[in-house]
Structure 1
Amino acid sequence: MQKIIISIFMIMAALTGCEGIYSGQEFKIYEHEEPEGSQLPEIPEIGKKGIGKTTKDSDWSSKVSKLKIHWHYTWGNNLSIKEPDNVDYVPMIWGKNSIDEAKVDDLKTLRDEGKINFLLGFNEPDGEKQSNMTVAEAIEIWPLLEEVGVPLGSPAVVGIDNEWLTEFMAQVDANGLRVDFICVHKYGGPNAQGFLNKLDEVYAKYGLPIWITEFGVGDWKATTLEEHKYTPEQVLAFMQELLPELEDRSYIHRYAWFPAEQDHIALKTSALWDAEGVLTPLGEFYANFEPNDLIGPGKDDLVGPDELNPNSIVVNGGFESGVLDPWQGFKNGVSEIEPYAGLYCGNIRKKDGSLYQVVEVEPGATYEITFYGQWAEYSENTFNVVVKEETGDKAILLKEPIEANENGWTKNQVTFTASQETQVRLVWYKGKLKPAFPPFYLDNVECVKVE
């Protein structure tokens, strides 16, 4: 191991290619252990304030822009064409199925083009409903993340620090691996000083810069919105006290408030936008605190290759509402386990089960269905996506085998032509077979009329 010093300086070309955004007069220097033979690029220093925001809402780009943040991540690793200019996009390897050699090559290309400068590690691997990994599994995969060749953040555990992260960092040292900064999450009461004290402890323990990739004020005992005990005024006071302290602590390199919705029982008063997408008083303060005044406007009108088509007749095709409606079926649900994009995906449970949605179609028109599927584990059998008339003779218009495996998301694309009926049912149904089907995940479902 050799000790190196990374100079973090401002250089616009490394961000978006647009000149004049960051002047480069200040340098941030910190030390960390680096394996022999590894060379990391020089990294631009930008503001600390960021946001984690998925790309499934049609107006996500404008929302990111209006927050005047300096950096943005999506819990995924696909750089969208809708990313506002002059923002540092930071990819994440969410879980064990999020990376392979092909993904490493893709990220290296983004690195070489100056489009990414950092990489975030696994999301809450100690959580059963999150990436759900053992330390041994994470350590086995970690060299692939290092191979991308940019400063690399640790897995972010459930909470600021725990036994999982302690063991992981011990194994990093024992195996000569690399972690360049510690990622943490924190959702507690509105006690700014208690939060800061815990951050100080984590820095003293690991001696590495810290990124707070999720934080907010949560009431986890509340079971209804009415029971939530923290007021918007309390949360705003917490943010007003905390953020200047995060800016003053040199070891805090970045932070990102978690943008919960107002209907989130535990986090409703931490919302940055109201139901109409207008900034709350909390959101206004966050936007105007240490703002990136050179952030570009939102690019909501563009359509990226991995984003839901606004012309799709499927409602909630990305399951990003967090609930199934208007999806129907049986033995199903919404899952947070490594979605294709965003925070959620659909789930058909073990053995038999289904997901379906009834949509309006134009008689005689041709439609293209696109969706992504993944098995929870190896399956000997497969099943079909079916399109059938909802009324009339209820004739089957399409029946095609689904392509999917347990190693990652597989894109499926099929077409059908509507009959004279105006409603059809799009069905993903797996029956009872031996051996039994494992759980199946479904995401980013679209059905678009072919012109």
Structure 2
Amino acid sequence: MKKSKIIKVAILALFSAVLLTLNNVGAISSNPYNDWKTSAINYPNNGQLVPAGPITITWDRLSIDSHEVTGYEVYLDNVLQNSTIIDEGDIFSCEVYTTKVAQHQVKILAQLSNNTKISTSARNFYISKKGMGFYSGNGYSAIQDAQNMGLSWYYNWGTAPTYAGTCPNQKIDFVPMIWGAYNGSNEQLTTIKNAGYKTVLGYNEPDFVDQSNVPVATAIANQHYFTNSGMRIGAPATAIQAPNSEWFNEYWQGINTDDIDFIPVHNYPGNIGVTDKEIKDNAKSFLNFINETHNKFNKPIWVTEFAVANWDPYWDGYNGANEANKAEVRKFLNYVINGFDNNVGLNDLEFVERYAWFSFDALDRYGGDSGLFNTKADHDKNSMLKIGTLTTLGNDYRNLGNPEGYILPNLMGEIEPSIEDEYVDDYVNVMINGRSENVVLGSKFDKIDTPVKDGYVFSGWYSDEACTKEYDFDSIVTDNVTIYPKWLKMHTVTIDGIDNKVIDGNTAVKPLPSVKDGYVFKGWYSDSEYNNKFDFNEPIRGDIAIYSKWVKLVTVSVDNNKVLIESGTVLSRPDMPIKNGYTFAGWYSDEACTKEFDFAKPLLEDVTIYTKWKKVIDPMEKEDQTTSINSVKTGDNFAIQGYVLGLIGVMAAIVMMQKKYNK
């Protein structure tokens, strides 16, 4: 046998809320742990009717390669159980406790080394306190015949089941008993333990001579055998009510009461009355006895025998022949199980773990009215009575004390599972931009809202901190993951007062210059004084302003010929023009040719340049000498080619720019 390892379960914090938009379609089928999740829990079975009190939950070990399982958590009805978990190799177990007759749910969470928790499907099962003692003897066991009564447990006053075949009340827990202090009884405790039983009932009515008849001193002396067995121990069940029993009180004072886990009790009201009030009074007395026993000894209670019976040799009113008396017993049974008039019944008393009505033979002289089914002895007395058939009271017992929602098997014990397991999503931790989220394992993200950061532009989600590997949002999440946003630094590039955003390291887009009437575009500059030309091939590393440079155009008119030049241009003096019959006398800035044009002065505005000519006097001609100022008529034979070419040569570049400007 492998050495057991004890693991303590600790209460951990609740998961935080999920803030992502998720696509859970396929999450169940995509969970790599599904085989374990859906089949790990061995006990209880789904839909099983389980006896109240301690419940040993068992499950398979989660074996995985990717991570180590560091521990397990057990949840009963979504409450973490602070219980001891026992590691026995491939199987783990944990004891939980409840006496609430209801549907319950258990699930196991495996804690992985990466802090992920993997949950089994939630196992739905039912808790019941209802059981029964089935007589066994001479090779016969009554359990093999009785129709199904919706029981969760039984005993037979012996140490082992005496019937191993199929029967209507099969698949219910058996509880062994050490009936008396007979030879070998102490050794039987070891046998019971080795058979896998966790609970044992103590001596049966040791205070009665015609029952186990165990002296108090013997019971006290033998107590250590029970204690050392390691099983859960039920005290001896006395025939006299324990609070008033001299035998039991002496026994209680002679042992370490911590060695007793629960107290079985017997009670047989002998006359429950006829009227409803009388029946209620007797039911109340019965329940008061149960409460008194618990209050005095402060232990859970098992009612292992109770029924209505009367051993008066002169009155046999409960012999199974009187229908009115049977009806009284039916009322009593209902009252003590369900409670009445603010009196809490056995089903709802938290300290009552189990109860078992004692079923007399249906024709028994002393308690036939308390019979739940026809026995072999009944059939022997009346062959018309079919063995195992439930009596009216038996049908009542079958239908009482069941948890809400539980579907009873049919009378032959056949049953379909009434409730299935519920798949439980697992969660992994996803760190997104420094924020922790819990995401369904096996799901994938549908969408994450685009984040915003001043001075940056979002460039996508990445699975590594260096942002070299883009995160695949079509991938299934099966592990903790960190998703990083990639941010690109943005700079403001202001071009002629208009802001543009450029990613750090990128180049600014060179705009086409606009048209500005009367000006010529001269390029882009990084300063408003136009000292430094801006290079659009250089990467942007910070905020910057870019300025367009414009130069005003001025018109130069010469002899009705006009040309545009940049303001501030200094004209080169052109070659001297030629005009037949005249002598060139200079360039002037006024039409009267009184002010000579200053070619050294930059042109800042439109200007007209005038040529001055002097008439050449032919001595043969008798004409007066005269001066001409641009007075050549159309059709005159003169030549200004040298003048024009000189002017164009000076301003050729300007003319080309003007052509571009005029497009």
**TM-aligned CA distance change 1:146 to 1:59, over 3 Å:** closer
**TM-aligned CA distance change 1:297 to 1:285, over 3 Å:** closer
Q: Would the aligned equivalents of 1:85 and 1:297 in 2 still touch at CA under 8 Å? A: no
Residue type matched to 1:183 in 2? P
Residue type matched to 1:232 in 2? K
> Residues 297-348 of structure 1: CA distance to partner in whole angstroms, max 9, x if unpaired?
879xxxxxxxxxxxxxxxxxxxxxxxxxxxxxxxxxxxxxxxxxxxxxxxxx
Does residue 194 of the first structure (1) align with residue 295 of the second (2)?
A: no
1:147 to 228, 232, 249: 228
In 1: Cα distance, 2:391 partner to 2:80 partner = 33
Q: 1:226: how far off?
A: 6.0
**TM-aligned CA distance change 1:44 to 1:52, over 3 Å:** farther
2:335 to 235, 241, 255: 241
Q: 1:203: how far off?
A: 1.0
Q: 1:180: how far off?
A: 0.7
Q: CA RMSD in A?
A: 3.5
Residue type matched to 2:358 in 1? F
Tell me what 1:79 maps to: 161
- Partner SS for 2:307: strand
Q: 1:141: how far off?
A: 1.1
1:381-420 counterparts in 2 under 5 A?
A: none
In 1: Cα distance, 2:97 partner to 2:135 partner = 24
Tell me what 2:485 maps to: none
In 2: Cα distance, 1:287 partner to 1:227 partner = 21
Residue type matched to 2:337 in 1? L
Tell me what 1:218 maps to: 309
Q: Would the aligned equivalents of 2:132 and 2:154 in 1 still touch at CA under 8 Å? A: yes
**TM-aligned CA distance change 1:28 to 1:186, over 3 Å:** farther
In 1: Cα distance, 2:81 partner to 2:307 partner = 29
Residue type matched to 1:273 in 2? F
- Partner SS for 1:214: strand
Does residue 181 of the first structure (1) align with residue 234 of the second (2)?
A: no
In 2: Cα distance, 1:41 partner to 1:74 partner = 27
Does residue 164 of the first structure (1) align with residue 247 of the second (2)?
A: yes
Q: Would the aligned equivalents of 2:307 and 2:357 in 1 still touch at CA under 8 Å? A: yes
2:398 to 287, 293, 311: 287
Tell me what 1:417 maps to: none
1:267 to 367, 385, 392: 367
In 1: Cα distance, 2:250 partner to 2:215 partner = 10
In 2: Cα distance, 1:284 partner to 1:14 partner = 29
1:98-137 counterparts in 2 under 5 A?
A: 99-100=184-185, 102-111=187-196, 116-137=197-218
- Partner SS for 2:220: helix
**TM-aligned CA distance change 1:232 to 1:296, over 3 Å:** closer
> Residues 110-160 of structure 1: CA distance to partner in whole angstroms, max 9, x if unpaired?
22xxxx231100000000011111111001112112232221111000132
In 1: Cα distance, 2:353 partner to 2:80 partner = 10
In 1: Cα distance, 2:81 partner to 2:173 partner = 19
1:310-321 counterparts in 2 under 5 A?
A: none
Q: Would the aligned equivalents of 1:49 and 1:256 in 2 still touch at CA under 8 Å? A: yes
Tell me what 1:42 maps to: 95
- Partner SS for 2:302: strand
Residue type matched to 1:108 in 2? K
Q: 1:294: how far off?
A: 6.9
Tell me what 1:376 maps to: none
Structure 2 residues without counterparts, runs of 5 or longer: 1-8, 10-39, 51-56, 58-74, 83-92, 99-126, 273-281, 339-344, 379-385, 414-663
Q: 1:68: how far off?
A: 1.4
Q: Would the aligned equivalents of 1:70 and 1:295 in 2 still touch at CA under 8 Å? A: no
In 2: Cα distance, 1:29 partner to 1:246 partner = 25
In 1: Cα distance, 2:365 partner to 2:188 partner = 36
Q: 1:79: how far off?
A: 2.7
In 2: Cα distance, 1:242 partner to 1:231 partner = 17
In 1: Cα distance, 2:202 partner to 2:247 partner = 14
In 2: Cα distance, 1:247 partner to 1:226 partner = 28
TM-score, normalised to structure 2, is 0.37
Q: Would the aligned equivalents of 2:153 and 2:173 in 1 still touch at CA under 8 Å? A: yes
Identity value in percent? 29
Q: 1:61: how far off?
A: 3.0
Q: Would the aligned equivalents of 1:13 and 1:19 in 2 still touch at CA under 8 Å? A: no
> Residues 159-203 of structure 1: CA distance to partner in whole angstroms, max 9, x if unpaired?
322111111111113xx6611111100001331001011111111
**TM-aligned CA distance change 1:296 to 1:103, over 3 Å:** farther
In 1: Cα distance, 2:356 partner to 2:201 partner = 13
**TM-aligned CA distance change 1:89 to 1:297, over 3 Å:** farther
Q: Would the aligned equivalents of 1:82 and 1:298 in 2 still touch at CA under 8 Å? A: no
Tell me what 2:389 maps to: 278
**TM-aligned CA distance change 1:101 to 1:204, over 3 Å:** closer
TM-score, normalised to structure 1, is 0.54
**TM-aligned CA distance change 1:227 to 1:183, over 3 Å:** closer
**TM-aligned CA distance change 1:201 to 1:41, over 3 Å:** same
1:327-346 counterparts in 2 under 5 A?
A: none
> Residues 69-117 of structure 1: CA distance to partner in whole angstroms, max 9, x if unpaired?
1110000001342375431110000000164464233212222xxxx23
- Partner SS for 1:125: coil
- Partner SS for 1:248: coil
**TM-aligned CA distance change 1:49 to 1:227, over 3 Å:** closer
Q: 1:232: how far off?
A: 0.3
Residue type matched to 1:77 in 2? T
In 2: Cα distance, 1:25 partner to 1:63 partner = 36
Does residue 51 of the first structure (1) align with residue 104 of the second (2)?
A: no
**TM-aligned CA distance change 1:211 to 1:28, over 3 Å:** farther
In 1: Cα distance, 2:246 partner to 2:315 partner = 32
Q: 193-202 vs 223-232, which deviates more?
A: 223-232
**TM-aligned CA distance change 1:213 to 1:59, over 3 Å:** closer
> Residues 34-74 of structure 1: CA distance to partner in whole angstroms, max 9, x if unpaired?
xxxxxx97367541100001234757234456111111000
Tell me what 1:320 maps to: none
**TM-aligned CA distance change 1:99 to 1:28, over 3 Å:** farther
| Greater Rg over alpha carbons, structure | 2
2:356 to 248, 256, 263: 256
Tell me what 1:337 maps to: none
Q: Would the aligned equivalents of 1:273 and 1:283 in 2 still touch at CA under 8 Å? A: yes
In 1: Cα distance, 2:350 partner to 2:317 partner = 39
- Work out the number of aligned pairs and report it: 274
Q: Would the aligned equivalents of 2:178 and 2:185 in 1 still touch at CA under 8 Å? A: no
